[in-house]
Chain A
Amino acid sequence: MKCSHCGVDSTKKEREDGKCKACHRPFAFDPQKGDTITDFAFAAAVNRVSMDGTVKFLPTHVLARLEQSRDRARRGRRQTSALVVGGIALAIGIAALVVNLALLAVALALGAVSVLLAGLAALSGRETVDERTFAAWWQRWVQTHGVPKGAVVLDDAARNRPAPAAALAEEVLDYSFDRAVVCDRDDIAELLLANDFHFENNCAVLSANGHPRHAFPTVLKMLRNNPRIEVFALHDCTPAGCALAHTLRERPEWFQGIGSVYDVGLRPGQAGPWHARSVVRTVPPSPALTEAERAWLSSHELSLDVVPPEQLIKRLFRSMNRLPEVADAGGGDAGGFTMIGTTSDGGGDAFG
């Protein structure tokens, strides 16, 4: 089993003490002891979502990445099997033409098996990791190796940051933002802030639930200072998420009559590239949902976590920099989660 720190392979005997034989760092997992994950695989998922420690990420990004990796691995194995069986079938088929036509039946049978395997690979359900299992993995990883660099964890410290100083809080009420991103999840808002999205884009970041608590009241007041505020709703593909833009547009405590609201979240129409999670629920009619969306959401949902954080930031930036306003989902097409070419975001200093 490879060590996630130094890459050296240790046999079962060599790691009886639970440590790498070369660098002596402990392993968090050991398949020989019943774990269905290795340190190497976990570290690889962390490195991928964090882009080698340069992008902040949520633990759920690691979960999504592990599921995608396992899914790809399983499909790959089935496809390989299909190819092998298909190759044998072809060889026997050619031999049948030369040696004995009776072999053709064998070739055809093997060919059918090959097609079946390929079909299973294409249609097989998603490889999932139970959330509780992942939580236990994460805990064990943190205990063994520490919190991975760049992990954004919405703990008590994150939820209880000190409010801005009174003088600053009073001064900034004269100012505003050009844009705001409102998320249906606290942790997505925290992720964007941790990646400095607010700083890089002159953009407020809030969650619909009032996160971050220490800044929420001040920021919301500031946003309402700008009659031309552009608000972007970023959400999971869930009934509540898909209703977010509508809520922001219609509720007086949000942006009713102020500025413009755009939906840049995940909607059923954009879920195609990913494996949605199956659910069973009743979704009541809503002005925020088309009938087709309601039907899809009755049996599916999809989390933003399927999009790696670096991609999420880039897609959000590109969506926010388009020019024309996009109608709410209740009225038709939503802009949502598409790759749109950027317009200028402003140049540097100088030249008046």
Chain B
Amino acid sequence: MLAANDYRGDRTATAVGPAGALGYRWWGGRPGKSPDLHRDADGTWVACAGALVPAVDSPAAALARRLREGDFERLDGAFGAARLHPDGTLELVRDPFGVRSLYWVRHRGCVLFATELKQLLAVPDLPVELDPAAIHKYLTFSFVPGAAVPIAGIRRVLPGEVLVLRGDTAASRPWFTLREEVTPIEQGPAAQRIWKRGRAAVSRRLLGEPRVGLYLSGGLDSSAVGVWLRDLGADVQAFTLDFGAASVEREEADAVARHLGIPLERVPVDPAELGRRLRELAWTLDLPFGDPVTGPHWLLGRAARAAGLSAVFNGEGGDQLFGGWTSKPMVAASVYGPGYGAESPEQQYLRSYHRFYGLEDQLYTPAFAARVGPEGQRRSLIASHLGEGAAPTTLLNRIRLTDIALKGSQNILPRAERMANAHALDARVPLFDRRLAEASFTLPPALKLHGACEKYVLKLAMQNRLPEAIVWRRKFGMSVPVTDWLRAGGPMDDAVEAALGDEAVRRRGLFRPEYVRALRAGHDSPNEVRRRRVGEKLWTLLALETWLSVFVDGRGRRP
């Protein structure tokens, strides 16, 4: 199992006893990593992959104490940990926002667990069969939400959760919950609070490296992280994606880098190369991720590694904490009310992913449709955040929490971590700092969405620290030209034909060939007006088929 993710470190340690065994892999000499497995005074063994924030010499030792004492006050970081008791009780714990993962499965009377799916599949006689219900959810979200994964029987610990396995029982409890605790505050003090917390979040993630990387898109969030890094005196090398003529925020990235006085490397994105690397990307991602930004992220990581860096910062999280694409559509839907399209906020939210929700009859084969499980599975994933009875009293915070729990914790963070770690880079995500997130939920929602202005309080905090055009312009968003990539005759045509040609689609048996064919011909739903949605849908299918070929057909072996 340890050999299955050898790119994750150059050192390993194992501990084997009558109750079970632990294994751990890490990069020796990296600050903040556990130097070994930890044997606690109470006889338990603890393995911790990742690091805590602020950094400690041994996250495993620190977590041992916390789990022993039930103290999760201010616990933060990017980690997945296991604590094995002498009586065989196993505790599995994940970081608050899901940067690192933890999977487990019962097999031959034992519990197997690992931070990556491929490690479990390395067990030779573990059954590998599709879980259609998990794939059904993936096709709605473009990532796999919840505790189930697309391999039947394998489960995932949720972010911010402790799972206790004892005998045949499995009991989970959350150790971290973001709560809405709004207190009145004026704009100025609110902006100062966010400035301080953001700066502290970045500071806590600087671990003495001589130089760090920054993925700089030209948008507000990554620019804000750049501001804080420079304010802390960090030596920064920035990287930005270059899609050639299709680039959207290239000039903005240049402007920010000049303003901050940091060098900026443009990383060209060659879709043909990404097409050749699809299987490798799928293997590294470990789960299917249907957002085409994953390949470009991989290229950014390669550039950062080539520059000699070991840690990269990014601006992920700004949308989830302070704004985001879903806020305004959901506000619009709520104001006009049900009766227009979807009937409930949950259904509206599912539709906002613009993948295959509502298109199941057109996409799924009858055989697949019959196996995806009962109605309501997808809505149940978000009901606790968005439905009636959800804790936040304000609509905006319900939407924010839903985005954090779904998009942030189960999509954006894990894939960013894996694409960085594919090149032995630590991904540092300060906007998903626990204390910053908690602060954001003390703010009146009108400081997040102020009129039509998203991320208002972050903009106030960055005012006078970034060019006005960067702070106050309407959000544009990075747009991967995926429809162009995947069109017939385009740079990924061979890959698309191999994965989504009629023969391949029939062989897999999940999708109707005629629907996939129509999509490949550029025919989306008649009322879909955005061209990029065709490409996004196709990429979702392409990523899934590639993942299936690597992880189901190939049992997770390195391609």
Question: A-side interface residues toward B, CB under 8 Å?
Answer: 51, 54-55, 158, 161-162, 164, 167-168, 171-172, 174-178, 193-196, 198-200, 202-205, 212, 214-215, 218-219, 222, 225-229, 310, 313-314, 317-318, 342, 344-352
CB distance from B194 to the nearest CB of A (A): 16
Which B-chain residue is minimally distant from A157 (CB atoms)? B339
CB-defined contacts of A348 to chain B, threshold 8 Å: 291, 293, 325, 477-480, 536
Q: A54-B527, A175-B451, A176-B451 are in contact. Are A352 and B221 (CB under 8 A)?
A: yes
CB-defined contacts of B351 to chain A, threshold 8 Å: 196, 199
CB-CB nearest 5 A-B residue pairs: A352-B315, A352-B222, A347-B477, A347-B479, A174-B446
CB-defined contacts of B396 to chain A, threshold 8 Å: 171, 175
Q: Is the CB of A352 within 8 A of B526?
A: no
CA distance A351 to B216 in the complex (A): 8
CB distance from A343 to the nearest CB of B (A): 9
Q: Is the CB of A350 within 8 A of B525?
A: no
Q: Is the CB of B324 within 8 A of A346?
A: no
CB-defined contacts of B336 to chain A, threshold 8 Å: 193, 198, 205, 212, 215, 219
CB distance from A101 to the nearest CB of B (A): 58
CB-defined contacts of B340 to chain A, threshold 8 Å: 193-194, 196, 198-199
CB-defined contacts of A204 to chain B, threshold 8 Å: 332
Which B-chain residue is minimally distant from A229 (CB atoms)? B452
CB-defined contacts of B346 to chain A, threshold 8 Å: none
Write the B208-222 contact mask toward A (1 if CB under 8 angstroms, else 0).
000000011101111
The 23 listed contacts between A and B (C-beta, < 8 Å) are A51-B526, A161-B337, A168-B334, A172-B334, A172-B395, A174-B445, A193-B336, A196-B340, A199-B341, A200-B529, A202-B328, A203-B332, A215-B337, A225-B451, A228-B452, A314-B529, A346-B476, A348-B478, A349-B411, A349-B412, A351-B314, A352-B221, A352-B318
Question: B-side interface residues toward A, CB under 8 Å?
Answer: 215-217, 219-223, 225, 241, 248, 291, 293, 296-297, 314-316, 318-319, 324-325, 328-329, 331-337, 339-341, 348, 351-352, 393-396, 407, 411-412, 416, 431, 445-446, 449-452, 474-480, 525-527, 529-532, 536
Q: Is the CB of B478 within 8 A of A347?
A: yes
Question: Of residues B333, B411, B530, B536, which shows the largest number of chain A Cβ atoms within 10 Å of its Cβ?
Answer: B530
Q: Is the CB of A174 within 8 A of B291?
A: no
CB distance from B362 to the nearest CB of A (A): 9
Question: Of residues B329, B348, B351, B452, which shows the largest number of chain A Cβ atoms within 10 Å of its Cβ?
Answer: B452
Q: Could you list 19 further interchain pairs (A-B, Cβ under 8 angstroms) beyond the known A164-B335, A344-B479, A352-B221?
A: A51-B526, A54-B526, A164-B334, A168-B395, A171-B445, A174-B450, A177-B332, A200-B329, A202-B329, A202-B332, A229-B452, A314-B529, A346-B325, A347-B478, A347-B479, A348-B291, A351-B222, A352-B223, A352-B225
CB-defined contacts of A313 to chain B, threshold 8 Å: 527, 529
Choose from B216, B341, B527 the contact partner of A310 (Cβ within 8 Å).
B527
CB-defined contacts of B474 to chain A, threshold 8 Å: 178
Which B-chain residue is minimally distant from A225 (CB atoms)? B451
CB-defined contacts of A205 to chain B, threshold 8 Å: 336
CB-defined contacts of A346 to chain B, threshold 8 Å: 325, 475-477, 479
Q: Is the CB of A196 within 8 A of B337?
A: no
Which A-chain residue is minimally distant from B315 (CB atoms)? A352
Which B-chain residue is minimally distant from A204 (CB atoms)? B332
CB-defined contacts of A317 to chain B, threshold 8 Å: 529
CA distance A204 to B416 in the complex (A): 35
Q: Is the CB of B335 within 8 A of A222?
A: yes
CB distance from A53 to the nearest CB of B (A): 10
CB-defined contacts of A222 to chain B, threshold 8 Å: 335
CB distance from A97 to the nearest CB of B (A): 52
CB-defined contacts of B325 to chain A, threshold 8 Å: 346, 348-349
CB distance from A67 to the nearest CB of B (A): 22
CA distance A193 to B339 in the complex (A): 9
CB-defined contacts of A161 to chain B, threshold 8 Å: 337, 339
Question: Of residues B328, B396, B474, which shows the largest number of chain A Cβ atoms within 10 Å of its Cβ?
Answer: B328
CA distance A177 to B334 in the complex (A): 13
Q: Is the CB of A350 within 8 A of B291?
A: yes
Q: Is the CB of A167 within 8 A of B334?
A: no
CA distance A203 to B476 in the complex (A): 16
CB distance from B498 to the nearest CB of A (A): 25
Choose from B297, B331, B531 the contact partner of A172 (Cβ within 8 Å).
B331
Q: A175-B451, A199-B341, A345-B530 are in contact. Are A352 and B331 (CB under 8 A)?
A: no
CB distance from A147 to the nearest CB of B (A): 15
Which A-chain residue is minimally distant from B529 (CB atoms)? A317
Choose from B337, B475, B478 the contact partner of A351 (Cβ within 8 Å).
B478
CA distance A278 to B281 in the complex (A): 63
CB-defined contacts of B450 to chain A, threshold 8 Å: 174
CB-defined contacts of B475 to chain A, threshold 8 Å: 346
CB-defined contacts of A54 to chain B, threshold 8 Å: 525-527
Question: Of residues A310, A317, A344, which shows the largest number of chain B Cβ atoms within 10 Å of its Cβ?
Answer: A344
Q: Is the CB of B530 within 8 A of A162?
A: no
